[in-house]
Amino acid sequence: MISEAMQDAINEQIKHEFYSAYMYLSIAAFFEAKNLPGFAKWLRVQFQEEQAHALKFYDYLIERNGRVQLGALPQPPVEWDGNLEAFQAVLEHEQKVTGLIYKLYEIALKQKDYAAQIMLQWFINEQVEEEKNASDIIEQLLLIDARGTAVLMLDHQLGKRG
């Protein structure tokens, strides 16, 4: 049985994970409008990953005899000032999600919910990867901006994801 505090926190995280998916789909649409299908594909894969993360939390609640309660999602942004700003938004969002996962872990520690701690360890590891992926793309975009070339090459590379 899962505690009410843990259940409520996981339900809130489900909402954040679905919002992440929604946000990344919005950024994908931004890149589609700029005729950068590789960037858009990378973000669509990210969209799918975030949906899978939400469902992982969803399934965990079900397994623990908890009650899933889905909340409303706010509208994500739809415009950015450029490629770099869009990926900076990705990194900032991932950093926010990392903080949310850490808060969930703190609740699990306080509740002595060892099963949740084990489950959340997967998400902690995943967030390291998520932040690194976004940071790597930002670094490449900064190099491109410094030299003024290679956006189409990066678009092609990102299009090979998943």
Assess contact for 97 and 130: CB atoms under 8 A: yes
Q: Give residue-wise pLDDT tens across range 66-97.
A: 999 999 999 999 999 999 999 999 999 999 99
Tell me how far apart the terminal alpha carbons of the chain are, to the nearest angstrom.
37
75-82: Cβ within 8 A, 24+ apart: 76/19, 76/22, 76/23, 76/25, 76/26, 76/27, 77/23, 77/26, 78/26, 78/29, 78/30, 79/30, 80/27, 80/30
| Range in 48-62, 71-85, 143-157 with the lowest mean pLDDT | 143-157
**pLDDT score at 38:** 94
**pLDDT score at 160:** 87
List the CATH number of the domain containing 44.
Answer: 1.20.1260.10
**pLDDT score at 149:** 64
Of residues 149 and 51, more confidence is placed in 51
**pLDDT score at 153:** 76
**pLDDT at residue 144 tops 90:** no
The maximal CA–CA distance of the chain, rounded, in angstroms, is 57
Please, what is the average pLDDT of the chain? 94
Query: What is the value of pTM for the model shown?
Result: 0.90
Q: How far apart are CA 142 and CA 45, in angstroms?
A: 23
**Residue range 98-126: average pLDDT?**
98
DSSP secondary structure letters along 42-97: HHHHHHHHHHHHHHHHHHHHHHTT--------PPPP---SSHHHHHHHHHHHHHHH
**Residue range 23-38: average pLDDT?**
97
Which domain, by its residues, includes 145? Answer: 4-158
Q: How large a percentage of the chain has pLDDT more than 70?
A: 96
Give the position of tokens 């703190």: 106
Q: How far apart are CA 50 and CA 74, in angstroms?
A: 16
The number of domains in the chain is: 1
Length reported for the chain: 162
Q: How far apart are CA 50 and CA 48, in angstroms?
A: 5
Per-residue DSSP letter, 33: H
Residue type, position 28, single letter: A
Residue 148: pLDDT band (50, 70, 90) is: low
